[in-house]
Amino acid sequence: MPNLIHSHSRWGPTDQIGAGNLLTAEKRLAALASVRRGQVWDLSHDIFMGAPFMAPNQTPFLMSIFGSWRDTIKRRRRMGATNDAGTNLERIEMTAHVGTHIDALGHFSNGEMLYNGNPAAEVVTDWGLDRLGIEHAPPMITRAVLFDVAGGSHLGPGQTVSPDDLKRAADHGGFAVEPGDIALIRTGWGRYFGVDNARYLEGEPGLDVPAAKWLIDQGIVAIGADNMAVEVLPNPDKTLLMPVHQFALAECGVYLIENLALEELAAARIHAACFILLATKIRGATGAPVRPVVIV
């Protein structure tokens, strides 16, 4: 993304939560008050060996049983136990960006600068982020609005979602964006997650910077999508790679939520509802797996 001038946060030089500042008590109460039926839509995919990942930056999810019932019973017998209590315990190796997850504000830089003027050289260590880690992301209890830009079908790789596409989807859904909302973008591409990983990773429909800016200008806290990176891949401008990540995270402090499962929500025609997401507080991590839900 050429010639962007890094903007200092509107919330002050020490801010680490960005657009999370828009998640006010009033916004939370309004979202919770909208719940009437108690129905829940789970917007997450399973995390499993075989889930898609973007090499080389991302590595595959690996899980093994580190301690099984066989071994633990033997050890406890040697300690004098007679009730054969067996334990099963796994060991997991993964990036924080496998499956349905949220990006921390320190995940992307614009050159040498992270969000709010933080120099990457001072923040990024071999053992995690000293600032802007996912532990700073606030609990997200607010209204989500679903932009079903694909209708009943799906868009194709490299197909850009424009501001006009978002406006039409909002009109169709009968909502207007409000400050503190979270935007969910259904492109239909999520149907290939874990089903046809090669196709899922060959590219994707998604936002470009003008569409992200349109959402952010209206006070969006986070942008989520049913694809691997929220943004269009490949970008129509071949000189740009991941400009939406730069703009949203590093310039604006707006979170990105990736690999969402939005098919059932769209089929139920739920376009605006209470949304809850809590990121695991992994200190210094650049993201975290999440299990977001919509409640109506």
- What is the predicted pLDDT for the residue at 10? 87
What is the number of other CB atoms lying within 10 angstroms of the CB of residue 106?
27
- What is the predicted pLDDT for the residue at 282? 97
pTM metric for this prediction: 0.95
- What is the predicted pLDDT for the residue at 7? 59
SS3 116: helix
What confidence tens digit (pLDDT) does each residue in 211-229 have?
999 999 999 999 999 999 9
Cβ pair 164, 179 in contact under 8 A: no
Residues in the chain: 296
Residue 172 CB-density burial (10 A; 0-12 exposed, 13-18 middle, 19+ buried) = middle
The per-residue b/e assignment along 177-188, b for 16 or more CB within 10 angstroms, e otherwise, is: bbebbbbbbbbb
DSSP letter for each residue of 186-208: E-SGGGGTTTSHHHHHS-B-EE-
Mean pLDDT (10-residue bins), the chain, 296 residues: 56 96 98 98 96 92 95 96 96 95 98 96 98 98 98 91 98 98 98 96 97 97 98 96 97 97 97 98 98 98
Handedness of CA 212, 218, 222, 227 (dihedral sign): negative
The packing angle between helices 163-173 and 209-217, to 10°, is 50
